[in-house]
Structure 1
Amino acid sequence: MATAKAAVKESLLGTTLEPEFSAQTRATFDRNAKQDEATGEKYMTEEDFVNAIAPDSENYHKIKREQYAILFQIADRRKTGRITLRDWGVFDNLLNKPDAEYEIAFRLFDENGTGTIKYDDFQRLYNQNKGKDTIPFDWNSEWASLYVGSRRHRHDITYPQFSQMLRGLQGERIRQAFHIFDTDKDGYIEPEDFQRIIMETAKHKLSDHVLENLHTLCNISTGSKISYANVRAFQNVIREMDLVDLIVRNATEKSGDGTITRTDFLNEAARITRFSLFTPMEADILFHFAGLDAPSGRLSITDFAKVLDSSWQSAYALGIGAAGTVSDTAHKAMSKTKSILHNILESAHHFALGSIAGAFGAFMVYPIDLVKTRMQNQRSSRVGQVMYKNSIDCAKKSHYE
Structure 2
Amino acid sequence: MSDLQNGSDHHRSVLSFDHLLTSTKRKELLQNCGFSVFRTASCNAETAISQRAIPRANPDHLRPIFERFASKEVKGKKVMTSEDFIRNYLGLYTEDNYNRETVRLLASAADTTKDGDISFEEFCAFEALLCSPDALYLTAFELFDRNASDTISCDEFEAIIRHTQPLHDQDFDFNSDFIKRYFGVDKKRNINYHSFCQLLHDFYEEQGIQAFKKYDKSGNGTISSLEFQQIMTTVKGHLLTDFVRNNLIAVSGGGASGHKVTFPYYAAFNSLLAKMELIKRVYVSNARGNLDFEMTKEEFLHAIQSYTQITPYEVEILFHLSELNHPGRKTLNLKDIQAIDPERLKRVSQMDRLINIKAVHNKDERGVGIAFLESAYRFLLGSVAGACGATAVYPIDLVKTRMQNQRTGSFVGEVMYKNSLDCFKKVVKFEGLLGLYRGLLPQIVGVAPEKAIKLTMNDFMRDKFTKDGKIPLYGEIIAGGTGGMCQVVFTNPLEIVKIRLQTAGELQQAGKKIGVFTVLKELGFLGLYKGSRACFLRDIPFSAIYFPSYAHAKLATADEDGMNSPGSLFCSAFIAGVPAAGLVTPADVIKTRLQVAARAGQTTYTGVIVPIFETPRKGGKMGTVVCKSAARFFCIFGE
- TM-score (ref. length: structure 2): 0.40
The 5-angstrom pairing of residues 290-369 of structure 1 reads 290-295=322-327, 296-310=329-343
2:219 to 172, 185, 207: 185
CA contact 1:262–1:283 (8 Å) conserved in 2 = yes
Match among 15, 30, 49 for residue 85 of structure 2: 49
SS at match of 2:206: helix
Aligned-partner residue type, residue 297 of structure 1: K
Q: In the alignment, is the contact (CA less than 8 A) between 1:261 and 1:298 conserved in 2?
A: yes
Q: Write the letter of the residue equivalent to 1:53.
A: L
Q: Against the structure 1 CA distance between its residues 69 and 114, is the aligned structure 2 distance closer, same or farther, given a 3 Å change threshold?
A: closer
Q: Structure 2 counterpart of 1:211, which letter?
A: R
- Give the SS at the match of 2:108: helix
- Give the aligned residue type for 2:299: D
Question: How much has 1:301 moved relative to structure 2?
Answer: 0.6
What is the aligned partner in structure 1 of residue 111 from structure 2?
76
- Partners of 1:110 and 1:117 within 8 A in 2: yes
* Aligned partner of residue 236 in structure 2, secondary structure: helix
Q: How does 1:249-328 map onto structure 2 within 5 Å?
A: 249-253=284-288, 258-271=293-306, 273=307, 276-295=308-327, 296-310=329-343
- TM-score, normalised by the number of residues in structure 1: 0.62
CA 1:156–1:84: 2 relative to 1, 3 Å:
closer
Percent identity, aligned pairs only?
29
For residues 216-249 of structure 1, what are the alpha-carbon distances to aligned partners after superposition, in whole Å with 9 as ceiling and x for unaligned?
2323699822111111111111222211111121
**Alpha-carbon distance between aligned partners in 1 of 2:322 and 2:59, rounded to the nearest angstrom:** 41
Q: Which amino acid aligns with 1:21?
A: N
Q: Match of 1:226, SS?
A: strand
Unaligned runs of 5+ in 2: 1-55, 346-358, 367-564, 566-639
Q: 1:26 to 1:251 in 2, by over 3 A?
A: farther
Counterpart position of 2:184? 149
- The separation in 1 between residues aligned to 2:292 and 2:167, in whole angstroms, is 50
Residue aligned with 1:74, SS: coil
Q: 1:261 to 1:32 in 2, by over 3 A?
A: farther
SS of the counterpart of 2:332? coil
Matched residue type, 1:94? L
| SS class of match (1:116) | coil
1:255 CA drift (Å): 6.6
Matched residues, number: 290
Q: Deviations over 1:355-379 (max 9, x none)?
A: xxxxxxxxxxxxxxxxxxxxxxxxx
Q: What pairs up with 1:1-400 in 2 under 5 angstroms?
A: 21=58, 25-26=62-63, 28-34=65-71, 36=73, 39=76, 41-50=77-86, 51-54=88-91, 70-127=105-162, 133-151=168-186, 154-219=188-253, 224-253=259-288, 258-271=293-306, 273=307, 276-295=308-327, 296-310=329-343
Q: 1:120 to 1:304 in 2, by over 3 A?
A: closer
Q: Deviations over 1:130-154 (max 9, x none)?
A: 6673212222222322212114x63
Query: How many angstroms apart in 2 are the aligned matches of 1:133 and 1:27?
Result: 41
Displacement of 1:46 in angstroms is: 2.2
Using the alignment, how far apart are the partners of 1:239 and 1:150 within structure 2?
Answer: 30
CA distance in 1, matches of 2:206, 2:150: 25
Structure 2 Cα separation of the partners of residues 42 and 174 of structure 1: 45
Point out the structure with max Rg over C-alpha: 2
Letter in 2 for 1:96: C
Q: Structure 2 CA distance, aligned partners of 1:116 and 1:189? A: 38
Stretches of structure 1 lacking an aligned partner (at least 5 in a row): 1-18, 59-63, 313-325, 332-382, 384-401
Measured in 2, the distance between the counterparts of 1:263 and 1:293 equals 19
Shift in Å, 1:53: 2.2
Distance 1:138 1:56 in 2: 30
Contact 2:292 2:334 in 1 (8 A): no
**Conserved 8 A contact 2:208-2:236:** no
Check 1:232–1:68 CA distance in 2 against 1; reply closer, same or farther (3 A cut): farther
SS class of match (1:133): helix
Structure 1: distance between partners of 2:290 and 2:57? 48
**CA separation of 1:138 and 1:65: change in aligned 2, threshold 3 A:** closer
Q: 2:553 aligns to what?
A: none
Greater relative contact order (CA < 8 Å, ≥ 6 in sequence): 1
Q: Which amino acid aligns with 1:217?
A: V
**Paired AA for residue 69 in structure 2:** N
Q: Aligned partners of 1:147, 1:38: CA distance in 2, in Å?
A: 42
C-alpha distance after superposition, 1:288-318 (max 9, x if no partner): 2233231201232122101113579xxxxxx
Q: Hey, what's the Cα distance between the residues in 2 that align with 1:172 and 1:146?
A: 12
